[in-house]
Amino acid sequence: MQTDLIQTQTDDRPRIYVACLAAYNNGILHGAWIDADQEPWAIWDAIRAMLAASPIPGAEEHTIHDYEGFGPVRIAEYAGISEVATLAAFIAGHGDLGAALLDHFGGDLDEAREAIADRYHGCHASLAAYMQKLIEETTPIPESLRFYIDYEAMARDAELSGDFFTIRLAYGEVHVFEGC
């Protein structure tokens, strides 16, 4: 296959590789990497420019052949450009946490937005560390009882009951959210 119009990028911004179907069906790989974190009309302009430069005259159809910077979120070949732009904007705005939240909620952008806006309790070393902080800030604990409190068990119970859920992005980087 002949390769044409391939650009490379080194940062982790969400982007898609859009290919010309007419060229692809004729054994020519022709497409462009397009930043997905922009307005849908700007993505459409880039797609139209890629199709206009196609080695196949009159090319009109495109498909998404690849993507990166979306974390675990999957982008379908024929995903709507508006949907791609909206997902990319959320991920660009919230980084790996945004992508992980979308994955946690099965791609439900409204749920992910609501969780980060209204139910986010910050980044902690662990859920147990958050539980300890929460309890110590809200409940007077006699010094003689401090060593008997099992914050690990409290954290496990809070997660199992659905009161909290966590997203771990790295060792010691646990993002805590209130459950639904």
Question: In the numeric block, which tokens belong to residue 115?
Answer: 């969780």
Average pLDDT of the segment spanning 57-78: 94
Q: Per-residue pLDDT tens for 126-174? A: 999 999 999 999 999 998 888 899 999 999 999 999 999 999 998 889 9
The bridge status of strand 120-124 relative to strand 15-20 is: unpaired
Average pLDDT of the segment spanning 56-61: 94
Predicted local distance difference test score (pLDDT) of residue 123: 96
Cβ-proximal residues to 2 (8 Å cutoff; 6+ apart), any chain: 27, 28, 29, 30, 55
Cβ-proximal residues to 35 (8 Å cutoff; 6+ apart), any chain: 13, 14, 15, 43, 88
| CB of 34 closer than 8 Å to CB of 47 | yes
- CA angle in degrees (0–180, nearest 5) for 156-162-163: 85
pTM of the model: 0.81
Beta bridge partners of 178: 164
- Report how far Cα 89 is from the mean position of its chain's Cα atoms: 9
Residue that has been written with the tokens 């009882």 in this structure: 145
| CB of 73 closer than 8 Å to CB of 103 | yes
